A and B are shown apart, each in its own frame.
Chain A
Amino acid sequence: MTDLALYAVIAIALAFDFTNGFHDAANSIATVVATRVLTPRLAVVWAASFNFIAFLVFKTAVASTIAKGVVDQDVLSIGVVFAGLIGAIAWNLVTYYLGLPSSSSHALVGGIVGAAVVKAGFSSVVGDGLSKIAVFIVLSPLIGLALAFIFMIVVLQIAGRIHNVDKLNRVFRRLQLVSAGAYSLGHGGNDAQKTMGVILALLIATHKVGPNADVPLWVVLAANAAIALGTLSGGWRVVHTLGSRITKLQPSGGVAAETAAALTLFFVSAQGIPVSTTHTITGSIVGVGSIQRLSAVRWGVAGRVVWAWILTIPGAGLVAAATYAVVHVV
């Protein structure tokens, strides 16, 4: 019975990874689609490929943080993880329906914390781990913003010396394939690892692996495949919000935004910090938009995004808490 429940929750975790793909990975292709470098169909294939091969580049530090650094390992059980996942998936679906680029990652963290608090109280929360995640909720978009702004200054300096605008645009359109690939790599590296972390937590809780075990290879492959398949399914509502409604992008801006976001994701993944890829690329796009003037950024849309950020952890946490309460009674 325990094994059956374990496999069922692993399947739900992979389904969450899939929803993460179609919800978040759309960010990978937003700029290449907005600047018409790739068609939406080709763009999702491009992004999904880099999502999948991310396991060849990154270690599993983020997965370890999710499995061991958010709530006390003794509190984690199949019921807690199940409730956390239901909270996160429900929140993802609501924000997907509304076209809001909220964070699947913070939904997952909020979900697990909400369920753990109902089970064992606030003392079950690992304060250091949660505060590291909370700090980088704010820092990751700011890093992306600053880097993108600096990259745009460099781009404008180069553009000022090269007077052939058509040639310059052609170069940046090609470069955007590289930057979009790098961003998708960073996205696969950070986001797929959250599912790996959830599955690792389940395996530790059910004593299938030891408390200090690394992520098994089959988990790594399954998580990367699930997010890549999710990306292939697309997330057009969110693409529309990010790619064209926050600010109008040219190919050079797309390169700057994606490169800035990719570097941010490479850094935080190496540090084992789960961040929102959505937050990061949004901050980068705002950085590009503000190179001209702040009015180039459509703050109304950006403001809705910020509200989604603020509401995500408590929203997913409340759904997870209610789910855990029901599961516990049943």
Chain B
Amino acid sequence: MDRRAIFFLGSGAVSAALIPATESGLRWVPTWLAVVFVVLAVASYLDWRSNSR
């Protein structure tokens, strides 16, 4: 299993969990960060899968 993808997913989950705690004017920061980490997790997983074949 690709540990880096899991690490990025975890980071994305932490970012998403912080959205409600962030003041309204800055909520776009953890929101975008969560999206970016999910994209990085998917990219990392695809990279790992293509390398392991």
Contacts and interface: CB of A to CB of B under 8 A. Distances in A.
Nearest to B3: A294
Contacts of A294: 3-4, 7
A135 B22 contact: yes
- In this complex, the interface size class of chain A, counting residues with CB under 8 Å from chain B, is 10 to 19
A146 B33 contact: yes
Contacts of B21: 131, 134-135
Contacts of B42: none
Please classify the interface of chain A as helix (H, G, I), strand (E, B), loop, or mixed, using the class held by over half of its residues: helix
Interface in B1-22: 3-4, 7, 11, 14-15, 18, 21-22
Contacts of A145: 11
A220 interface: no
B4 A293 contact: yes
Given A131-B21, A139-B18, A271 B11 contact: no
A263 interface: no
Contacts of A290: 4, 7
A43 B53 CA distance: 45
- In this complex, the interface size class of chain B, counting residues with CB under 8 Å from chain A, is 10 to 19
B11 A142 contact: yes
B14 A138 contact: yes
Contact of B29 (A131, A139, A150, A293): A139
Given A139-B15, A142-B11, A142-B15, A132 B29 contact: no
A128 interface: yes
Nearest to B43: A153
A149 B7 CA distance: 13
B11 A143 contact: no
Interface of A: 128, 131-132, 134-135, 138-139, 142-143, 145-146, 149-150, 271, 290, 293-294
Please classify the interface of chain B as helix (H, G, I), strand (E, B), loop, or mixed, using the class held by over half of its residues: helix
A134 B30 CA distance: 13
Q: Which of B3, B11, B29, B37 has the most CB of A within 10 A?
A: B29
Contacts of A134: 21
Contacts of B29: 139, 143
Contact of A132 (B4, B15, B23): B23
B27 to A, nearest CB: 10
A278 B46 CA distance: 32
Contacts of A150: 36, 40
18 contacts: A128-B23, A132-B23, A134-B21, A135-B22, A138-B18, A139-B22, A139-B33, A142-B14, A142-B33, A143-B29, A143-B33, A145-B11, A146-B11, A146-B33, A146-B36, A150-B40, A290-B7, A294-B7
Contacts of B33: 139, 142-143, 146
A131 B21 CA distance: 7
List of 9 A-B pairs having minimum Cβ-Cβ separation, nearest first: A294-B3, A146-B36, A294-B4, A135-B22, A135-B21, A135-B18, A142-B11, A132-B23, A142-B33
A64 B18 CA distance: 24
Nearest to A273: B26
A296 to B, nearest CB: 10
A128 B25 CA distance: 13
B40 to A, nearest CB: 6
A134 B3 CA distance: 28
Nearest to A131: B21
Given A128-B23, A139-B18, A290-B7, 11 more contacts: A131-B21, A138-B18, A139-B30, A142-B15, A145-B11, A146-B11, A146-B37, A150-B36, A271-B26, A293-B4, A294-B4
A120 to B, nearest CB: 24
